[in-house]
């Protein structure tokens, strides 16, 4: 048998295998192409499903989000700080927990950023928060002529509208979603009713001289879970702004009535004298504040202002482990 004959026979025997291999390759390529085309169609569909037009869906979504946010905020006004007050809605007592023992939170951040000065006319601080002999003066007195408009300090809901002959005279108590309650006393006219929802800056009354009062003024209180806090520790009345956007409440130590002055972090120390004067305690240094920025540490701030971390903590009622929030102001002298 010649070589030519052998090669011919080999070719004839291998040809079916070649055809089978080609068929496999063709099928593989066909399936791969079909699979790729199918995947492309699937991805295109998914992408098409995710496409949003600028004119419809985003606007609709924004409307829905705004409506939900409005409903949630409306609920917070109908039941302000309900998680704190546990549905205590007393219409008679300024302190809704007057006959109860309260477990105050160790600390609580009170958002004061939306504060509105309750008076818009010319006034001065004539009596500060603090002890008056045996009794506690639980608020700040702002001298103002009778008949000036008194406004809500924050959004909220009116809890009490009442008259007390030997005390507040005509007065209002408003509870706010931030956890505070504000009290407005010695009013000549009340312009809102119990359960009314009010917005920061809304007219709620006219100033006056009713109740236990020796001259026309607004008696203004800030309370947290019934406990009176120093309004001047929270707000700068001269400039009509809060000292800080967030006021950090610290739980009182011991008997709340005895330690009223120690109930919360004090931004600045004010006189507790009962004299009718609007100046800080004699020889008290002008308070200096540092506004916290990214990267600030208590150690760095102490070095910058020539003080110590311990003094900073004592001045501001904080600990060395307290988280420093950007934008907050802390006092650095005193």
pLDDT band, very low/low/confident/very high, at 202 (cuts 50, 70, 90):
very high
* DSSP letter, residue 262: G
The string of pLDDT tens digits covering residues 280-323 is: 333 445 678 888 888 888 888 988 888 888 888 777 767 777 77
Same topology between domain 54-282 and domain 285-334 = no
Burial 80-93 (b: 16+ CB within 10 A, else e): bbeebbeebebeee
Q: Which of 80, 78, 130 lies closest to 110, judged by CA?
A: 80
Domain ranges, ordered by start, for the chain: 54-282, 285-334
pLDDT of residue 125: 94
Q: Which of 132, 147, 202, 134 lies closest to 174, judged by CA?
A: 202
Q: Bridge partners of 197? A: 157
The number of residues in the chain equals 334
Burial 15-27 (b: 16+ CB within 10 A, else e): eeeeeeeeeeeee
The string of pLDDT tens digits covering residues 239-279 is: 899 999 999 999 876 444 434 444 433 333 333 333 333 33
C-alpha distances (whole Å) from 149 to each of 152, 184, 238 are 10, 12, 18
CATH code for 285-334? Answer: 3.10.350.10
Q: Does domain 54-282 match CATH 3.40.50.970?
A: no
pTM comes to 0.60
Check whether 19 has a pLDDT greater than 80: no
């Amino acid at each position: 048998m010649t070589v030519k004959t052998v090669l011919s026979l080999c070719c004839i025997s291998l040809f079916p295998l070649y055809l089978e291999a080609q068929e496999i390759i063709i099928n593989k390529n066909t399936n791969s192409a079909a699979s790729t085309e199918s995947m492309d169609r699937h991805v295109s569909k998914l992408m098409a499903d995710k496409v949003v037009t600028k004119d419809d869906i985003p606007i609709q979504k924004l409307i829905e989000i705004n409506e939900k946010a409005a409903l949630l905020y409306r609920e917070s006004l109908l039941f302000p700080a309900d998680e704190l007050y546990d549905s205590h809605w007393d219409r008679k007592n300024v302190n809704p927990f007057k006959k109860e023992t309260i477990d105050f939170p160790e600390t609580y951040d009170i958002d004061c950023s939306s504060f509105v000065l309750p008076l818009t006319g010319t006034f001065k601080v004539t009596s500060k928060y603090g002890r008056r002999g045996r009794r506690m003066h639980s608020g700040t007195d702002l001298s103002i002529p009778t008949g000036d408009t008194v406004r809500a300090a924050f959004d909220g809901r009116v809890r009490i509208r009442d008259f007390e002959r030997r005390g507040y005279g005509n007065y209002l108590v408003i509870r706010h979603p931030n956890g505070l309650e504000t009290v407005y006393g010695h009013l000549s006219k009340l312009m809102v009713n119990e359960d009314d929802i009010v917005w920061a800056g809304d007219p709620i009354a006219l100033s006056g001289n009713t109740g236990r009062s020796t001259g026309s003024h607004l008696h203004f209180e800030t309370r947290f879970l019934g406990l009176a806090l120093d309004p001047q520790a929270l707000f700068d009345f001269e400039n009509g702004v809060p000292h800080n956007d967030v006021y950090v409440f610290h739980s009182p130590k011991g008997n709340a009535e005895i330690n009223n002055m120690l109930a919360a972090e004090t931004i600045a120390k004010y006189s507790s004298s009962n004299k009718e004067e609007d100046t800080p305690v004699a020889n008290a240094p002008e308070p200096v504040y540092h506004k916290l920025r990214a990267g600030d540490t208590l150690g760095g701030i102490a070095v910058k202002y020539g003080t110590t971390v311990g003094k900073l903590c004592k001045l501001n009622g904080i600990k060395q482990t307290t988280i420093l929030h950007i934008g907050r102001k802390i006092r650095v002298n005193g």
